């Protein structure tokens, strides 16, 4: 699609074919918001024709960076259409309505990160093996088709009702390998991805590294370096040794699996298909491991939500008393503490030590990440939903206030019990019922509320990352302009130098020709003079020889005459 095409335009047939033509509001009912992030919101919904439960991610492409948002939607839809594997989220279609894309996928109960949040303790090793194995099957499928996920972490490993493990959130994925974009979530990012900011390429082995970090996350409730800010963590990942499991109670095979995933040099790191044969994953384990974990988590969620519900009901009851003193809430606190002791959790529901997912996790519905700034856009638990009995003010502070007669208390899918409570300033009783048919989740209402706050608290970081991205792009643009300017100047100087050299060469040639001609004239003159002298000398020699011969001849003539005279005298 041309980059200058208007967002939402379906004039291009290839783009139009990506979207269904029907009105999604007529196809899907019972929409209940189960997540929220910078990209939009995620909803539980029911197909009115098949009665099938689905998840819908609504992504708006209006407002700022409209074309960029539209391009991200196109990219994610194209990627999802290519996926055909049991361990990747199943795509059902995409619809357009009023500058919003409705991305429909299969419904998942939640993510592996939600398990950590609910139980407040690490997973068991056999559970980690089962979840990691399912995720690795999905990665091996992607890598076999030259695709890279680029954002593997517990928040993007999803679980379905039958206990299937699926990869979700393909907003950061690359459809080609090797790639060189700086993409992902900082704490899970492979060293070669960080180094690709300047130069270099990477392949599917970056997902193997991220899976190793995810294994540590499932075993320790947070990834390594999570106590650092993102920029410091990136530096440490690129410069320091690979992390390892901290506790000694893990098996040698698990430790070896993590070490294999976290080989610093990509050439030493195994591929996803090779890693599938590792003994940590091939060990025998019950086939119901994930299903049992989901069942235990759903029970914990139900109990925790019931506790919260009863707390809110007591608050409402207190507010209905016009002048009477309200009873203390010690009973509920004690009840919750007792439950947490029974369930084996180690922290309270408001614990700040939990691991906030760096991207939206529930039901595989998370925003695409195309850069460090975009990765930050998915950071700090973008799943957002109003806690039952509590509402958030529509502001950046996400302040929680007590309900009034205008508030629709418990009007969300997390309502745990079907009871009637009296509104504080209304003269009538209102029923707060919610149809829970087909709805299931492993996420508590308080967890979702806290993630709203974490998302709001992460706004400053996302803005900082966005500023860093803009500054880096501007710097790269300026650097490229400077390089082009210097290259043009260098070419100009080179041309000038070549001309000067050519002129000097021509001057040297002309001077050499003059000297040669002058030398040749001198040589010719000297040769001519030498020949003249030689000729004179030869003439002189010939003259001398002629005189000598003449003298000799005269002597011989005199001798002959004298001899002749002697003979005459003798004869006489």
Angstrom distance (rounded) from CA 493 to CA 495: 5
Pair 165, 87: CB distance under 8 Å: yes
Question: Residue 143's Cα: distance from chain center in Å?
Answer: 16
Angstrom distance (rounded) from CA 264 to CA 237: 9
Instruction: Name the region of 435 (left: φ>0; alpha: ψ -120 to 50; beta: rest).
Output: beta
DSSP string, 120-155: SSPPPHHHHHHHHHHHHHHHHHHHHTT-B----SGG
CA distances from 412 to 38, 387, 450, 541 (A): 21, 8, 16, 138
Rg (CA), the chain: 45
Pair 363, 55: CB distance under 8 Å: yes
Angstrom distance (rounded) from CA 302 to CA 366: 25
Whose structure tokens read 């009023």? Answer: 98
Angstrom distance (rounded) from CA 319 to CA 315: 6
Instruction: Name the region of 30 (left: φ>0; alpha: ψ -120 to 50; beta: rest).
Output: left
Pick the catalytic residue: 23, 30, 47, 151? 151
Buried b (16+ CB within 10 A) or exposed e, 225-234: bbeeebeebb
Whose structure tokens read 């979840």? Answer: 131
Angstrom distance (rounded) from CA 113 to CA 240: 26
Q: Which two tokens stand for residue 227?
A: 């106590």
Annotated binding-site residue? 26:
no
Angle at 221 between CA 219 and CA 227, to 5 degrees: 125
* Helix/strand/coil for 89: coil
Start-to-end Cα distance in the chain: 147
CA distances from 572 to 558, 559, 563 (A): 21, 20, 14
Single out the residue of 184, 224, 227, 228 nearest to residue 207, CA to CA: 184
Angstrom distance (rounded) from CA 9 to CA 70: 9
Is 47 known to be catalytic? no
Cα-Cα-Cα-Cα dihedral sign, residues 467, 472, 477, 483: positive
Q: What is residue 514's DSSP assignment? A: H
Pair 76, 368: CB distance under 8 Å: yes
Angstrom distance (rounded) from CA 58 to CA 76: 13
Question: Residue 181's Cα: distance from chain center in Å?
Answer: 6
Annotated binding site: 58
List, by residue number, the catalytic residues: 151
Q: Which residues are annotated as a binding site for ATP?
A: 58
């Amino acid at each position: 699609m041309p980059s200058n095409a208007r967002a939402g335009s379906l004039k291009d047939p290839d783009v139009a074919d990506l979207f269904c033509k029907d009105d999604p509001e007529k196809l899907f009912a019972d929409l209940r918001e189960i997540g929220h992030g910078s990209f939009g919101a995620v909803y539980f919904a029911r197909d009115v024709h098949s009665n099938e439960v689905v998840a819908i991610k609504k992504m708006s492409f209006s407002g700022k960076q409209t074309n960029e948002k539209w391009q991200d939607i196109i990219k994610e839809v194209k990627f999802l259409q290519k996926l055909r594997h049991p361990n990747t989220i199943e795509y059902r279609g995409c619809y357009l309505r009023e500058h919003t894309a409705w991305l429909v996928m299969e419904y998942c109960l939640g993510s592996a990160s939600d398990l950590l949040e609910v139980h407040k303790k690490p997973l068991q090793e056999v559970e980690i093996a089962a979840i990691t194995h399912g995720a690795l099957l999905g990665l091996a499928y992607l890598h076999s088709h030259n695709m890279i996920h680029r954002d593997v972490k517990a928040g993007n490993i999803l679980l379905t009702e039958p206990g299937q493990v699926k990869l979700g959130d393909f907003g950061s994925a690359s459809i080609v390998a090797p790639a060189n974009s700086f993409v992902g979530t900082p704490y899970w990012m492979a060293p070669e991805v960080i180094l690709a900011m300047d130069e270099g390429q990477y392949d599917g082995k970056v997902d193997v590294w991220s899976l190793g970090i995810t294994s540590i996350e499932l075993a320790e409730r947070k990834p390594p370096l999570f106590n650092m800010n993102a920029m410091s963590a990136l530096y440490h990942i690129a410069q320091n040794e690979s992390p390892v499991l901290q506790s000694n109670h893990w098996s040698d095979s698990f430790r070896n699996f993590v070490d294999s995933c976290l080989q610093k040099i990509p050439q030493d790191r195994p591929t996803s298909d090779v890693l599938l044969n590792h003994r940590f994953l091939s060990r025998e384990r019950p086939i119901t491991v994930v299903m049992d974990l989901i069942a235990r988590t759903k029970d914990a969620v139900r109990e925790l939500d019931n506790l919260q519900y009863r707390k809110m009901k007591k608050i409402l009851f207190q507010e209905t008393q016009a002048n009477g003193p309200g009873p203390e809430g010690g009973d509920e606190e004690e009840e919750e503490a007792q439950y947490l002791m029974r369930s084996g959790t180690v922290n309270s529901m408001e614990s700040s030590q939990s691991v906030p997912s760096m991207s939206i996790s529930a039901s595989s519905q998370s925003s695409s990440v195309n850069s460090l700034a975009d990765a930050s856009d998915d950071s700090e638990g973008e799943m957002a939903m109003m806690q039952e009995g509590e509402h958030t003010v529509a502001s950046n502070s996400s302040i929680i206030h007590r309900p009034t007669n205008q508030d629709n208390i418990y009007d969300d899918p997390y309502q745990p019990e079907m009871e009637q409570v009296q509104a504080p300033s209304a003269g009538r009783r209102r029923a707060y019922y919610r149809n829970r048919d087909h709805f299931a989740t492993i996420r508590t209402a308080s967890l979702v509320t806290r993630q709203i706050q974490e998302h709001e608290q992460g706004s400053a970081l996302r803005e900082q990352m966005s500023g860093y991205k803009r500054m880096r792009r501007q710097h790269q643009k300026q650097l490229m302009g400077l390089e082009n300017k210097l290259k043009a100047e260098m070419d100009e100087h080179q041309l000038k130098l070549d001309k000067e050299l050519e002129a000097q060469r021509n001057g040297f040639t002309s001077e050499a020709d003059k000297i040669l001609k002058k030398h040749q004239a001198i040589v010719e003159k000297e040769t001519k003079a030498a020949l003249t002298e030689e000729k004179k000398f030869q003439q002189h020699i010939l003259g001398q020889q002629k005189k000598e011969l003449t003298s000799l001849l005269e002597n011989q003539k005199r001798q002959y005459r004298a001899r002749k005279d002697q003979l005459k005298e003798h004869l006489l």
